[in-house]
Structure 1
């Protein structure tokens, strides 16, 4: 059902070393994963802590959004400054826009170019029903993916279109304005297949907030197999979001208004199997994000608050996996991307603001002995605005037996400044064109953030108890953190704000995930994380700025009942925390979600009816506590029919 299932390690390891992995390998008892090093590896041999969630688990969770699914991963928290903009990230109080967390959909990065480098909008580009599995690497991984993989990688793999031939319809309805609907149609066979998915979600967001959400999605995927050695995938799609924004009708900084966004993408990928173990892959993708965010400032007739803009990203990459000997495997690659944005409100110019980055990367895996596996990796990027950076990884996996693995290593990561941090220039004018204020005036002197992560990991299997355990103990040192500082701009003569490398911090933590299957129809999960954070600047510690919970626990029970009924209960507990500062301190909280589902048939079609209640205990304070924002208790009914 989930990542650390209950099989032996060594059998999968031998298969992966001798031939290219098949689809069955990815769902074996110890699944093969791709995210840690770009090499196909059994989970226990990966140079990092990885959680794998498959499509069956996603359905059992009762989640409506990808953010809700990410609650199942240790160390990840769900947030969002309002209900129209849900976000999940590792160390989320330090990363409440997801700028330090890489999100990939079939290898395509989805962070926004036009605004703050945020990932929450890109996470809405995929429908949960189209996902095959999600691989989540918990921790730094710039050595494999570059400048945005500082805190973790969420790698979303969608279903092959040949596996979704036929049709599917689903609808959900419930309180808090929940109205979801989706349709899918697939045609073809193993040589050529196509899938079209269309969906829409609506809900009312948080309580006491102006954040109603309407999300629409259209996605197309096509897969071709022109020869036995070649595979081609083409995908394209568009998603649009209409979301409420603002604190009150009279708030001059953020009055009530509706924000409109639209993301468009296309991507292509060609794989050639060179022999049983080696592969060449070429991929290209393009993404455009548009934002319309306009509001009249209350009390100032004719004065407009405008954060609208659009961004574009073009990316090309070539990658080669090679077996150098019976003990050594490697992957090498190179790529180039261009990012640009245009927004007069954000940059005070009608010209495009941009940067380019060329990159080379490589990983070498050396099986020194049957018990010792050494993994080294390096990523070198040439960034047109901040220069060249190099980030390495060194990890050692010791496998004293087939059931146990101990992992020790060091990884370095960076996050390059986004275009807003480099070039942001936000000005407010009167109706007659007089400059009233300058909200931001970035000088472009900001440098990349840096992170050095040291970790000890353990992956264990206890077959007699039908139990698995994955634990990660880490120490992370983060320097040159980008924050906001005020200064007097000599050009405009106004006091404004700039992005600067202001301070550093240290994080230490322990997290683990336990999976136990005491009976054939019962599975239990226990995820726990403990974290501590210390800012270098004692003033930030005094203000409790961006303070994660010191502890978090998730308990899941998945029980198949008589008559094929399925019961899921997920209970989550979090210590006190804040997303911004102590004015919005959230006390200890807990939440229980319950889902009861019944599968049946309508003629020859499979169907399922499910009733889900989220936050059974009731409403609870969330995010902007001083504004009385609350997560609502929600219940909804879902009907799904597969034809």
Structure 2
């Protein structure tokens, strides 16, 4: 069983983790043929990859209940990637890391606010990048294909003295997005990492990066969402110090800073002198200190405290030149008790003091019955929280001309409260060594309270282009039951089969429920992948995905069941003393597939591309 860190912040074998987890390693990422992190997440049960256009790929658990990814925590080397500007979305932050820089992805499927606090409601995507000592001296790659695909990447790595190593990566990615959508994309990423070991007991990691995105947006026939090109830039700094006191005692201090900037401006069609502007800049800081320690025979724990601050400045979104945001102080702890060789209990508690949402608590209790080293049953309950974003608290969108107010569309009244999710789950993890097969099953019942959605209300004054105002309010919520499993089987030494399936049923319990206006996730989804080693070192990957019918927001955009098959063929070889690889990937070989706005005939296109990679 591989060791994982994400479930409880404690390093533990997969069969002892307090929850269902999927691990996708560097090799599998390469074999998948994916160009985006969102595409890789198709290999995780319960996760759907999509987005409101092709320039904004998104992957989230229970999509479309989380259509901005704000209910899934995304970490890159421990750094949270929430945007501070709008709705706390994570899809843009997921673009800050290039796939070639990832060592592995650990995904906890299900609630985990007990370990990480607000927003770790539906799951945790923990991206662990490659140590700088574990990269080639130089690597270059180029990708070209249909639908405007044109990617380039270069990476350099080396030593700085005897105690430090570094890597620097730069990449450029382009494509034309969906069919029938204005969403051409050009993404540029610069990323660096330094690892330093000043003593045998200390490890220091520092990373910094910047990513810049040009993305098409809007519709030709829309007054408030016209055709335009959006520019966005993410800048981040991240540092982590680990001090190993003993084999069972470790201190860790982490600090991160993220800045997300967006320029989004277009003329108002009816009054061209009036600009529609949703741009701005967001800042977030995160400081955390934790200690892992043994408390005696069969007992170990992790405890910690932290501070988080998020601020956004946007005249367009908040109708002020000042900032809107929050700060949060938090403490957390997890204790693991091995009561007997066969029984393991895990309890966790996270307490946050939020400047806008007040005090909240997120507890968890999980029991693992280790029937044998190969078979584990687990069961438990947890409560999770999502605190509203600054825009949900204070959004104020107005249209002005020469100091005169022409219209107003959003006016938050500040009454929104945190969402709460109660989860119960049972699971099984089994390893059948003789058959080279592992099976992980999760059955769950989740009840959402105080679900936040937008609503409309009448304003007290009349404006030329205003008929009502929008705000966010808490509604009753939903009841979700489901079962999912992942199977990994290696029937022959040269091939491996991955099979994921998820089944779920959602009931909304709004008193004013209107099926035509609510979002519904697919009731079933299947991913089957075959990774085959061929003669002469060649590799073949086939991934087939079936997603049941679903709707994002309205039934006039109901998406029928979709089928997508991706095929990748690669030939690794040596060029003098250098390692090289030539690969060809075809995505959605059976044809274009509908997505998001079916009323506008948005389609994920069939496309193919060739990649050449060279390592020194």
TM-score when normalising by structure 2: 0.98
- The CA distance in 1 between the partners of 2:513 and 2:65, in whole Å, is 12
Q: Do the aligned partners of residues 543 and 209 (structure 1) sit closer, same or farther apart at CA in structure 2, a change above 3 Å counting?
A: same
Q: Secondary structure at the match of 1:59?
A: helix
Q: 1:227 aligns with which of 199, 206, 223?
A: 199
Q: 2:594 touches 2:604 (CA, 8 Å); kept in 1?
A: yes
1:25-36, aligned counterparts within 5 Å? 30-36=1-7
For the pair 1:273 / 2:278, whether they are aligned, the reply is no
For the pair 1:620 / 2:570, whether they are aligned, the reply is no
1:69-80, aligned counterparts within 5 Å? 69-80=40-51
- The CA distance in 2 between the partners of 1:101 and 1:446, in whole Å, is 20
Deviation per residue, 1:462-517 (Å, 9 max, x gap): 11211110010000000101111222344888631111102210111000001110
- The CA distance in 2 between the partners of 1:234 and 1:525, in whole Å, is 35
Q: 1:79 touches 1:96 (CA, 8 Å); kept in 2?
A: no
Deviation per residue, 1:551-586 (Å, 9 max, x gap): 101110110011111000000001111111211111
Q: What is residue 457 of structure 1 aligned with on the other side?
A: 427
Q: What is residue 206 of structure 1 aligned with on the other side?
A: 178
For the pair 1:239 / 2:242, whether they are aligned, the reply is no
Q: CA deviation at 1:165?
A: 4.3
Q: CA deviation at 1:542?
A: 2.4
- The CA distance in 2 between the partners of 1:175 and 1:639, in whole Å, is 16
Q: What is residue 166 of structure 2 aligned with on the other side?
A: 194
- The CA distance in 2 between the partners of 1:204 and 1:137, in whole Å, is 32
| Structure 1 consecutive aligned stretches of length 4 or more whose deviation exceeds 4 Å | 490-494
For the pair 1:636 / 2:612, whether they are aligned, the reply is no
For the pair 1:609 / 2:579, whether they are aligned, the reply is no
Q: CA deviation at 1:543?
A: 1.6
Q: What is residue 5 of structure 1 aligned with on the other side?
A: none
Q: Secondary structure at the match of 2:434?
A: helix
Q: What is residue 418 of structure 2 aligned with on the other side?
A: 448
Q: What is residue 216 of structure 1 aligned with on the other side?
A: 188
Q: Secondary structure at the match of 1:71?
A: helix
- The CA distance in 2 between the partners of 1:491 and 1:208, in whole Å, is 39
Q: RMSD across aligned C-alpha pairs, in angstroms?
A: 1.2
Q: Secondary structure at the match of 1:93?
A: coil
Q: What is residue 135 of structure 1 aligned with on the other side?
A: 106
1:119-158, aligned counterparts within 5 Å? 119-158=90-129
Q: What is residue 278 of structure 2 aligned with on the other side?
A: 307
For the pair 1:596 / 2:575, whether they are aligned, the reply is no
1:538-557, aligned counterparts within 5 Å? 540=513, 542-543=515-516, 545-557=518-530
- The CA distance in 2 between the partners of 1:492 and 1:283, in whole Å, is 51
Q: CA deviation at 1:91?
A: 0.6
1:25-174, aligned counterparts within 5 Å? 30-174=1-145
Q: What is residue 341 of structure 1 aligned with on the other side?
A: 312
- The CA distance in 2 between the partners of 1:557 and 1:357, in whole Å, is 45
1:240-259, aligned counterparts within 5 Å? 240-248=212-220, 250-259=221-230
Q: 2:136 touches 2:615 (CA, 8 Å); kept in 1?
A: no
Q: What is residue 472 of structure 1 aligned with on the other side?
A: 442
Q: What is residue 577 of structure 1 aligned with on the other side?
A: 550
Which deviates more, 317-326 or 185-194? 185-194
- The CA distance in 2 between the partners of 1:576 and 1:50, in whole Å, is 26
Q: 2:378 aligns with which of 387, 399, 407?
A: 407
- The CA distance in 2 between the partners of 1:114 and 1:287, in whole Å, is 11
For the pair 1:536 / 2:509, whether they are aligned, the reply is yes
- Listed as ranges, the gaps of 5+ residues in structure 1 are 1-29
- The CA distance in 1 between the partners of 2:70 and 2:525, in whole Å, is 23
Deviation per residue, 1:138-189 (Å, 9 max, x gap): 0000000000100000000000101114000001000000000000000117
Q: CA deviation at 1:544?
A: 6.1
For the pair 1:505 / 2:475, whether they are aligned, the reply is no
- The CA distance in 2 between the partners of 1:448 and 1:609, in whole Å, is 50
Q: Do the aligned partners of residues 490 and 544 (structure 1) sit closer, same or farther apart at CA in structure 2, a change above 3 Å counting?
A: closer
Q: 1:165 touches 1:195 (CA, 8 Å); kept in 2?
A: no
For the pair 1:485 / 2:455, whether they are aligned, the reply is yes
Q: Secondary structure at the match of 1:68?
A: helix
- The CA distance in 1 between the partners of 2:496 and 2:118, in whole Å, is 38
- The CA distance in 2 between the partners of 1:336 and 1:635, in whole Å, is 46
1:307-326, aligned counterparts within 5 Å? 307-326=278-297
Q: 1:296 touches 1:305 (CA, 8 Å); kept in 2?
A: yes
Q: CA deviation at 1:354?
A: 1.9
- The CA distance in 1 between the partners of 2:420 and 2:101, in whole Å, is 35
Q: Do the aligned partners of residues 188 and 519 (structure 1) sit closer, same or farther apart at CA in structure 2, a change above 3 Å counting?
A: same
Q: Do the aligned partners of residues 220 and 491 (structure 1) sit closer, same or farther apart at CA in structure 2, a change above 3 Å counting?
A: farther
Q: 2:403 aligns with which of 410, 416, 433?
A: 433
- The CA distance in 2 between the partners of 1:301 and 1:454, in whole Å, is 54
Q: Secondary structure at the match of 2:350?
A: strand
Deviation per residue, 1:191-235 (Å, 9 max, x gap): 200110000100000001000000000011000000000000010
Q: CA deviation at 1:300?
A: 2.1
Q: Secondary structure at the match of 1:94?
A: coil
Q: What is residue 176 of structure 1 aligned with on the other side?
A: 147
- The CA distance in 1 between the partners of 2:98 and 2:513, in whole Å, is 39
For the pair 1:522 / 2:492, whether they are aligned, the reply is no
Q: Secondary structure at the match of 1:274?
A: strand
- The CA distance in 2 between the partners of 1:306 and 1:163, in whole Å, is 44
- The CA distance in 1 between the partners of 2:512 and 2:583, in whole Å, is 49
Q: 2:570 touches 2:581 (CA, 8 Å); kept in 1?
A: yes
